[in-house]
Structures are given as C-alpha cells and as structure tokens.
Amino acid sequence: MIITRRLVAGAFAALATLAAGAPPALAADEAAEKAPKVELVLDVSGSMNARDIDGQSRMDAAKQAFGEVIDATPEVVQLGIRTLGSEYPGEDKVIGCRDSKQLYPVGQVDRVTAKASVAHLKPTGWTPIGYALRAADKDLGNDGGTRRIVLITDGEDSCGKPDPCDVARELAAEGTHLTVDTLGLAHDDKTRRQLSCIAEATGGTYTSVQHTDQLSGRIKQLVKRAADPVEAPPRAVQGATGQCTNAPVLGAGIFTDREKFAEHRWYRVKVNPGQELRAAVSVSADRAVNPDYGVRLRAVSEKGQELVRGSDAGSGRTDVLSTGLRYPVAKQDKKSDGSRPDPETVCLEVANSFSAPDSVKREPGLPVELAVDLVKAPDNASDVAAFGLGRGWVLLGVLGGVGLLAGLIWGWLARWRVAVWRAN
C-alpha cells in the first residue's frame, strides 16, 4: 500500500488522545463497540468423520485446534463460534441447507464456556456455507470495528443456493469492512476454487490445511491479525460515474468501491502547493472474465487536461490488476493578503476494460481499492516525471523535439553521402 505507516500511527494516536479525554464510562463503552470481532465458522457435516489429519478425524483435529485458539485469544478480541451442518442428520435438503447454529455469541471470551460449546460436536449433516456466511455476518453486527469470519471446512457447499461466492461478493459490496478467511481440510480442486473465491471477494486468505498444529497456528494468526491490524481499515466510497464535478473528495487513506465492467469512476483530491499526490488502484477480477483487459488510473485537472496516467493490462486469468501515479504541485508564495495559496483539485479517473461471458453475473461490480497519499513534494517538483506516461504533454513535446532533430541530422547525413558518392 502507498499509505504511510506514519499516517496510520497518527490516526491511532489521535484516537487514543480522544479516548483519554473522554469520561471513563463513555470511553469504555466506545472501546467495547469498536473492539475487533471474529467469528469462527466450523463445518460439522458428515464428511468431517474422515480420519486423515495426523491419525485422527477432521472433527477431532478441529476441536483440538479450537481449544488452543480459545486459550490464545487476545483479551481485546470479541470471539464467537458458529457451526454449519451440526444439527440435522436427515435427507431433506430444505432443512439441511438451513442448518447453521451460533454456539457461542460474539463477545468477551469465557474460555471454559467457549470450549464446552465445541466439545459435544459430532459430524452430522449438510454443508450450507452460503447460508452460514450470511448468518455470521449478522452475528458480528456493524459498529465500525474490524470484522472477520474464519471459515473451516472440508468441502464445498452442498446446497448450491445461496452460492457462497455470490454471498461473499454481496457482503463485500455492503462496505462494512468484513474479511472472510477460509481454511480447507480437503484438497480437491473444487473445494480449493470455491474457498479461494470466497476469500478473494472479501480481501481474505485461503489456506490448505493438512496438520492439526497448522490448523491451530493459522487460526491464531488470523485472530491476532484482527486484534492488531497493520493499518486503518479501508473506507467505502462511491465514485461518480459521469464527471469529476460530482465526485467525492478524498483525503489520504485507503478506499473501496465497486466498478461495473468497462465503467469509469471519478474521485477528487485536494493537493496543497508543495505536496505530491501518490495514488494507486487495484481492480480484482473476482469472477470469470474474457481475455485481454486493462486498468487505467488518470490524474486530470478540473479543466479536463490530463496530468499523468498509469495503466496495467493482461490476458488470461489473473486475480488483480494494479497501477499507480505520482503528481507533484510546486510550492507557491503566499497571497498578497498573507493567506496560503489555494489547493489544486486533482480529478482521479479509474477505468477498466474487463468483459465477461453472458453467463457471468454483472452485479455487484468488480472490487476496487484506491490508495491515496499526500507527501512533501521534491524540491524539483516541476521536473518530476511520474510513472505511467508522466506529464503527457511534456513527454510528447520532448519526443517530438528529439524526433525532429534526429530527422534533420539523418537527412543531412544522407545528402552528404550522396554528394560524396557523386564526387567519386
């Protein structure tokens, strides 16, 4: 990410200062509301009876791992546990595909009670992953804190509706900063593809697990990651689709959006004289797409003049396309009345050339992540060439001048050689 660690540290320091100045009761309430929340979603379907993890069943390995994870859960994390396929052993698909139960509510961890809630589990029913993800999202609530689901399963969804990948995309599109990490206890291609799709749609990770210590270690890592995020969570925004004048104004930070196939979206950034705008964008191909596609990020003035651009393109299957740009604004003297000069409004345009077969769903749009940073501009700001095409008109002028000079020299040399040949 382009956003600097100093920016993140400053944001957390400001929050700490505000909390210190608040009344104790109010500060405690706000801390509880903003506490990181994690829900572990465990597959308890019949296939979890398979004995292929360190000589024990998948279910026993999961219970052992959960006990270790519960003991290691940081005090600041509010933890919950939900199952899928734990209650109904029958053949009725309608009932089996709604078999998901919250064993332990999301909250401060009572380690004895939490362990006891898992101890009695026996592999039982179906695998309604999509249904369980929707339920887990509701369990976590939405108070602005970090939200993470850790899904542990040994197979793909056995219900079909709702499709787990579609559910993950829907939850991501809501902009509530939900991350779903998936851990697979089986290693077939169908399971891997589905769990990877769920994770990618929400910015999470997929891990293939073969040993008990690997399972417990990975879940501990993900729970700790929720407690100690490396950066401020991204903010959901909605870029303008028509023109820059209606676009949202962004400051430094990380922002998420959704963009339809072949759509253009606009955002605005105020850049003070003496600052350099650094921006990077990533667009995720979270579903099947046609070959030959690209992503472009342009910085444009309010009058429509292109300032700088960056682009990336590909052909074949990829997960993410990313590009970026830099645009410095030179220092200016103060106004005659002693006030500071006005900031320059820079319009950022994010465009993509993705397309897809007719069978692929268009909604929601493709995930977009835009990182914006404002740093001190270099002293020679007017001479800086950003990556991408740089300052387009400057580059074009230089290339034109070089081409003209090269043409004149080549023409003079050609005439000189002809004159020498004739003389001989």
Q: What is the domain partition of the chain in residue ranges?
A: 23-227, 235-396
Q: Render pLDDT for 121-157 as a digit per residue (tens, 0 to 9).
A: 998 888 999 999 999 999 999 877 789 999 999 888 8
Give the CA diameter of the chain: 105
Q: How confident is the model at residue 397 (pLDDT cuts 50, 70, 90)?
A: low
Element (H, E) at 328: strand 320-328
Q: Which CATH fold topology does 235-396 show?
A: Jelly Rolls (2.60.120)
What integer is the mean pLDDT of 148-175?
A: 86
d(CA 225, CA 5): 16
d(CA 17, CA 392): 45
Are 39 and 66 within 8 A, CB to CB? no
Query: What percent helix, strand, coil does the chain show, rounded to 5?
Result: 35, 30, 35
The pLDDT assigned to 362 comes to 84
The pLDDT assigned to 188 comes to 81
Q: Render pLDDT for 327-363 as a digit per residue (tens, 0 to 9).
A: 999 888 777 777 778 899 999 999 999 998 888 888 8
The pLDDT assigned to 378 comes to 77
Helices (H), 207-275: 212-227
What integer is the mean pLDDT of 266-293?
A: 88
Domain at 23-227: CATH code:
3.40.50.410
Q: How confident is the model at residue 20 (pLDDT cuts 50, 70, 90)?
A: very low
- Give me the chain's average pLDDT, please: 81
- Residue 315: is its pLDDT beyond 70? yes
201 three-class SS = helix
Q: How confident is the model at residue 18 (pLDDT cuts 50, 70, 90)?
A: very low
d(CA 214, CA 51): 16
Which structure tokens are listed for 367? Answer: 């995930």
Q: How confident is the model at residue 422 (pLDDT cuts 50, 70, 90)?
A: low
Kindly report the pTM of this predicted structure.
0.54
- The β-bridge partners of 125 are 45
The pLDDT assigned to 175 comes to 66
